[in-house]
């Protein structure tokens, strides 16, 4: 399967300038092609194909106003048109909304290079229009004997540079095990397992809330368009990046452990988009990142030959006694421990829910 490895790198001044020009040209080509497609569909009722957009790009390069498009590598520009084509294909298939224009401030600055636009020799990566290879921090090695097929370079809001290298890799399934687990996502505990274990929720956003608020207040005091405001915006972005990095690292460790130790993993099919409408819990739910936890479990289970089962969101896991199956009429959120009136078993709310999720997941699988 194809798998991307992401690394941080530190460009020279010349490389940073070249990449910044490429990012700007990619954004311009994408927006101009989107504008032309929208105009053609609105006024003429026809769809513009990728071939037409590619031909238009060639004509744009010949005009005095857009002659600078020829100064950067043509491959990222063509890839931008392919991404736009994929966006329209998803829109017409009703898998996504109508494509939107890329913003210089809000959109991620990135460029994609295919095999013809970079050189890979002896573990060193050199992009088109550059004389020297990128200074990449190899935090982990690429699979032995792998050859990159696509390279994506990006710069995040905190000013950090990253390169994602796409390779084809054979991932061997893990040895089958007999253990299965049910997972109940929560706020106080990030995940409660059917074994009775509770995985703590680090609450990374809460830990850096004061630092974030201080940086945001400093940003609010700066004049719009000033250099000081740009510096303050960078400080805010760095705090957000620190929170996101620590949260992602913790989720990777938790999900990797669950996949390695269990053959079947049962989770609740939660609709996070609806849950965050509760203004009292929205911040805590977003900090817990339940959706990202579920996504990691999905692709890691597929990689390593495990089974992930999503139990229906309306399944009454909290109100059902895992010992005798008695269903309670109500179960308010403030009730964290309760006793079954039928069999007398005393339940921890979250552990009981995890046990019921496991039983339902095993029944479905």
Tell me if residue 184 is catalytic.
yes
Tell me if residue 312 is catalytic.
no
Other C-beta atoms closer than 10 Å to the C-beta of 162 total 15
329 and 207 in a single domain? The answer is: yes
The overall average pLDDT reported for the chain is 93
What confidence tier does 84 reach under pLDDT thresholds 50, 70, 90?
very high
97 and 245 in a single domain? The answer is: no
Instruction: Identify whether 175 is part of a domain.
Output: no
Which residue pairs from 244-250 have beta carbons closer than 8 angstroms and sit at least 24 positions apart in sequence? Answer: 246/202, 246/204, 247/202, 247/204, 247/205, 247/287, 247/289, 247/292, 248/292, 250/202, 250/204
125 and 191 in a single domain? The answer is: no
Instruction: Identify whether 242 is part of a domain.
Output: yes
248 and 309 in a single domain? The answer is: yes
162 and 198 in a single domain? The answer is: no
183-196 pLDDT per residue, tens = 999 888 999 999 99
Q: What is the pLDDT of residue 1?
A: 86
Q: What is the pLDDT of residue 270?
A: 86
Complete edge-to-edge strand list for the sheet that includes strand 136-137: 109-114, 150-155, 161-168, 2-9, 136-137
45 and 163 in a single domain? The answer is: yes
Instruction: Identify whether 54 is part of a domain.
Output: yes
Q: Which two tokens stand for residue 326?
A: 């008695």
DSSP structure class, residue 40: I
Q: Answer with the residue of higher pLDDT: 5 or 365.
A: 5
What Å distances lie between residue 296 and 79, 117, 231, 250, 299, CA to CA?
Answer: 27, 31, 34, 12, 6
Question: Which range of residues forms the domain containing residue 34?
Answer: 2-168
47-61 pLDDT per residue, tens = 899 999 999 999 999
47 and 137 in a single domain? The answer is: yes
Q: Residue range 143-172: average pLDDT?
A: 93
222-240 pLDDT per residue, tens = 999 899 999 999 999 999 9
What confidence tier does 313 reach under pLDDT thresholds 50, 70, 90?
confident
Whole-model pTM over 0.75: yes
Instruction: Identify whether 174 is part of a domain.
Output: no
Tell me if residue 122 is catalytic.
no
13 and 161 in a single domain? The answer is: yes
Q: How many domains does the chain have?
A: 2
Q: What is the pLDDT of residue 3?
A: 92
Q: How buried is 82 (Cβ within 10 angstroms: 0-12 exposed, 13-18 middle, 19+ buried)? A: middle
What Å distances lie between residue 142 and 3, 122, 167, CA to CA?
Answer: 10, 12, 8
What confidence tier does 345 reach under pLDDT thresholds 50, 70, 90?
confident
Q: Which member of 18, 112, 205, 268 is catalytic? A: 268
Q: What is the pLDDT of residue 271?
A: 86
Domain boundary residue, one of 133, 168, 203: 168
Name the β-bridge partners of 57: none
Q: Which member of 18, 205, 287, 350 is catalytic? A: 350
Q: Strand 346-348 relative to strand 337-339: parallel, antiparallel, unpaired?
A: antiparallel
154 and 216 in a single domain? The answer is: no
Q: Which member of 184, 197, 208, 292 is catalytic? A: 184
204 and 242 in a single domain? The answer is: yes
Q: What is the pLDDT of residue 274?
A: 86
Instruction: Identify whether 173 is part of a domain.
Output: no
Domain boundary residue, one of 116, 147, 168: 168
Instruction: Identify whether 58 is part of a domain.
Output: yes
Q: What is the pLDDT of residue 330?
A: 86
Residue 162 and residue 7 in contact, taking contact as beta carbons nearer than 8 Å: yes
96 and 219 in a single domain? The answer is: no
Instruction: Identify whether 205 is part of a domain.
Output: yes
138 and 190 in a single domain? The answer is: no
């Amino acid at each position: 399967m194809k798998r991307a490895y992401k690394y941080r790198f530190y460009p020279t001044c010349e490389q940073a300038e070249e990449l910044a020009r490429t990012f700007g040209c990619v954004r311009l080509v994408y927006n101009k092609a989107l504008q032309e497609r929208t105009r053609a569909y609105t006024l003429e009722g026809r769809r513009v194909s990728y071939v037409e957009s590619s031909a238009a790009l060639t004509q744009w390069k010949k005009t005095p106003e857009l002659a600078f498009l020829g100064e950067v590598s043509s491959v990222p520009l063509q890839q931008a048109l392919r991404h736009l084509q994929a966006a329209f294909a998803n829109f017409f298939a009703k898998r996504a909304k109508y494509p939107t224009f890329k913003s210089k401030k809000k959109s991620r600055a990135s460029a994609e290079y295919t095999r013809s636009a970079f050189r890979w020799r002896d573990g060193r990566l050199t992009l088109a229009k550059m004389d020297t290879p990128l200074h990449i921090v190899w935090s982990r090695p690429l699979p032995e004997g792998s050859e990159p097929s696509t390279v994506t370079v990006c710069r995040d809001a905190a000013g950090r540079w990253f390169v994602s290298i796409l390779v084809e890799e054979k991932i061997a399934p893990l040895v089958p095990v007999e253990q299965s687990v049910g997972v109940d996502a929560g706020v106080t505990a990030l995940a409660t397992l059917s074994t009775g274990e509770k995985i703590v929720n680090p609450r990374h956003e809460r830990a850096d809330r004061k630092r974030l608020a201080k940086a945001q207040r400093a940003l609010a005091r700066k004049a719009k368009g000033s250099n000081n405001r740009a510096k303050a915006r960078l400080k805010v972005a760095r705090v957000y990046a620190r929170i996101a990095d620590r949260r992602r690292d913790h989720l990777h460790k938790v999900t990797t452990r669950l996949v390695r130790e269990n053959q079947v993993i049962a989770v609740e099919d939660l609709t996070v988009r609806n849950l965050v409408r509760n203004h009292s819990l929205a911040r805590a739910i977003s900090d817990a990142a339940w959706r990202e936890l579920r996504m990691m479990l999905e692709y890691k289970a597929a990689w390593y030959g495990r089974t992930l089962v999503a139990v229906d969101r309306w399944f009454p896991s909290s109100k059902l006694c895992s010992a005798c199956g008695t269903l309670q009429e109500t179960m308010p959120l403030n009730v964290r421990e309760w006793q079954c009136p039928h069999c007398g078993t005393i339940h921890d709310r979250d552990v009981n829910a995890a046990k019921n999720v496991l039983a339902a997941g095993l029944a479905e699988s």
